[in-house]
Amino acid sequence: MVNRFHTSRARAVAVRNRCLFAATAFLAAPHFSSAVPIWAGYAGNAQHDGISTVASQSLQGIHWQTPVDLAPQYNGNDLLIHYGSPLVTQSNTVIVPVKTGATDGFKISAFNGANGAAKWSATTDYILPPHNWTPSVSPTLTPSHRLYYPGAGGTVYYSDTPDITGPQTVTQLSFYGLSNYTANTSAYNGNVFINTPITSDTAGNIFFGYQVTGATPLGLSSGIARIAANGTATYVSATTAAGDVNINKVVQNAAPAISRDGNTVYVPVSNGSAGSLLALNSTTLARQNSVALNDPRNGNPAWLNDDGTASPTIGPDGDVYYGVLENPFPDNHARGWLLHFSASLTAKRAGAFGWDDTASIVPASMVGSYLGTSTYLLMTKYNDYGGAGGSAVNKVAILDPNATHTDPVSGQTVMAEVMTIAGVTPDPDFPGLPGAVREWCINTAVVDPATDSILANSEDGKLYRWNLGSNTFTQVVTLTPGVGEAYTPTIIGADGTVYAINNATLFAVGSVPEPGIVLLPLAAMLLIRRRRALKPN
C-alpha cells in the first residue's frame, strides 16, 4: 500500500526435478482426505508461521489467474481492501474467497491448482462488520479437509467435499445455537458479525472473533467463539475474557492463533483503539494469562488499528509475536512494533516494525551466513513510510528474536537485524527522498525452506523470490503495473505453484517448460520410477 498514514534443456530438467521434489511428499500421502491441507488458512496454519511444506516452483511465468473482487472500489489510485487468503488442499484444489459486490456480497470459489479450471462456487450471505478499510473474508480448512467459511449473523457454513467438481452440500452452524438464529434472523444478521479470519486447530475445532453492534434476543456481546468438530460451541465476551470492562471487542482481522500443543488460543482484544493480548484455554476459553499491549518506548497503550491485519504468530519455542502501532503516532515513522512475549505472555524484546504485518518463522538453517544461537529467525515487512517522516527506503527483513541492536529511528534496543533488503522500484511519490522505493504489500509472506527463499509481493505489481543465501532477489515476475493496496498474503500450493494477490486478482505463478521439452505428469514420473525400482535385474 502507498503510505496512507499521511494521506537448453538443462534448465527444463532442473525445473522438472524441482516440481518432482515438491510433489513427492504430496503424492506419497496414503489418503489425501486424511492428510493435513497444504495451506489451511491465514498464514498457513494455526500458528500463522507462514512456512511451506512444499518446495516452490521456479518463478518463470503466470500459469493462470482469477479475480478476487468482481467490483473493486478504488480510492483514487488505492485499493483499500484486505483480501482473504486462498487455501490449498492436498489434492491441489485452490479455494478462493471472492468479493462479488461493491459493498457486501461474497462467494467461495474452488479451482484446479494445476490449470485454474473452475471446480465449484458457493455464495455466502456473510455481512461485513463496521469498517473503514474493507475487512478480509477468510475461510479455513481443518485437518480432515472440512471447509468452514463465514456466514451472516455470526454463523458459519461448512462442506466436507471441497475437492469435488460440482455443487457443494453445505451445513450452517451458529455458535449461539442455530434455533436461536433462525428464531430471529434479522436481529442477528443486523447486529452480529464475524470480524476475524477463522482458525482451525489440529483436532478440527475452529475459532473466530465476532462483533456485536446492537441488541440481540440473547443479549450477546462481542467476543470469541469456538465450535468443536462435533458442532458443540463455546463462546465468551471480550469483556469477560479480558476481565476488563473497558475491553469490548476482538481486534478486527486478527486471526486467533493456537499454541503448538493445542492447549492455548491467543487473541488480541481492544476498547476500539488499545487493549491486551489474551491467552485462553482452547477448550473452555477461560483466561490463562493476559498482557497489556504497550508501546515499548514509553509504556503508552499501543494503537490496535482495525485497518490492519496483524495476527499473532507462535514460534517453535512457544513465544508469541504480534504487531501493533506506536503511541504517540506516527513518531516511529508509522512502523509500529513487533511485540514479543513468552508463551505465558511475559514481555520480551520487540522488533522495530509491526504495522499490518504477521511475522513468518524462518528456520535459522536457511540463512547460511547466520552465526547466532537462535534456532529460528523472523521474517517481517520493514517499510519506512516516507509520508510519516521516514526514508521511503522500504525493505523486508530477517530478525533474530534473541539478539539486539539499536534501532536508528527510535533509538530503542530492538531485535537484531540479520539481513535486510530494499525494494527495487523507485517511488515517484517521494522525489525528494533518495532511494525511495515502492512498499512491500504483504501481510504474511511464505517461507520456502527447500529453496532457502521468501516469496513476497510488492506494490510495484511484481512477485519476488528473496534468496537468503545471497540476500538478493533471484527471480521476479510482473503481475500488474502496480497499485497502492492494502496488504495481501503470498502462499505456495500443493504442486509448488506460488500464489499472490495484486490489484484484485489472484495470480498462480510457476515453472514454464522450455520449447521442445516434454515433461511427464508428476504422478506418471513417480510411477515409472517406482516400476523401474521394482523391476528385476
Residues 481-530 have pLDDT tens digits of 999 999 999 999 999 999 999 999 999 999 998 765 444 444 444 444 44
Separation of first and last alpha carbons in the chain: 61
- Alpha helix (H) residue ranges in 274-359: none
Quote the CA–CA distance of 498 and 465 in Å, as a whole number.
10
CB 38 within 8 A of CB 55: no
Quote the CA–CA distance of 358 and 270 in Å, as a whole number.
18
Question: Does residue 22 register a pLDDT over 60?
Answer: no
Pairing of strands 287-292, 313-314: unpaired
Percentage with pLDDT > 90 across the chain? 88
Nearest alpha-carbon partner for 223 in 205, 235, 206, 207:
235
Q: How far is CA 115 from CA 13, 119, 430, 459, in A?
A: 21, 11, 40, 26
Which cell is 317 given? 519455542
Nearest alpha-carbon partner for 177 in 197, 192, 195, 167:
192
Quote the CA–CA distance of 252 and 306 in Å, as a whole number.
5
Rounded to an integer, the average pLDDT of 382-388 is: 98
- Determine, yes or no, domain membership for 1: no
- Determine, yes or no, domain membership for 109: yes
Rounded to an integer, the average pLDDT of 397-416 is: 98
Residues 321-342 have pLDDT tens digits of 999 999 999 999 999 999 999 9
Question: Does residue 17 register a pLDDT over 80?
Answer: no
Residues 52-86 have pLDDT tens digits of 999 999 999 999 999 999 999 999 989 999 999 99
- Determine, yes or no, domain membership for 5: no
pLDDT on residue 66: 98
CATH number at residue 515: 2.130.10.10
- Determine, yes or no, domain membership for 241: yes
DSSP 200-244: E-TTS-EEEEEEE-S--TT---SEEEEE-TTS-EEEEEHHHHHT-
C-beta neighbour count of 87 within 10 angstroms:
29
Quote the CA–CA distance of 207 and 266 in Å, as a whole number.
10
Nearest alpha-carbon partner for 224 in 261, 194, 200, 245:
194
- Determine, yes or no, domain membership for 4: no
C-beta neighbour count of 245 within 10 angstroms:
9
Find residue 377's DSSP bridge partners: 362
Mean pLDDT, the chain, whole residue set = 91
DSSP 362-416: EEGGG-TT--SS-SEEEEEEE---GGGTS----EEEEEEEEEEEE-TTT--EEEE
Task: Quickly state the pLDDT bin for 103 (edges 50, 70, 90).
Answer: confident
pLDDT on residue 280: 99
Helix (H) or strand (E) holding 345: none
Residues 196-239 have pLDDT tens digits of 999 999 999 999 999 999 999 999 999 999 999 999 999 999 99
Longest dimension (CA), the chain: 77
**Structurally, how many domains does the chain consist of?**
1
- Determine, yes or no, domain membership for 324: yes
Residues 249-258 have pLDDT tens digits of 999 999 999 9
- Determine, yes or no, domain membership for 200: yes
Question: Does residue 26 register a pLDDT over 50?
Answer: no
Quote the CA–CA distance of 166 and 159 in Å, as a whole number.
12
Quote the CA–CA distance of 515 and 15 in Å, as a whole number.
13
pLDDT on residue 25: 33
Lowest mean pLDDT among 6-20, 120-134, 359-373: 6-20
pLDDT on residue 19: 35
pTM for this one? 0.91
Question: Does residue 278 register a pLDDT over 80?
Answer: yes
- Determine, yes or no, domain membership for 290: yes
Helix (H) or strand (E) holding 17: helix 10-28
Domain residue limits at 478: 10-534
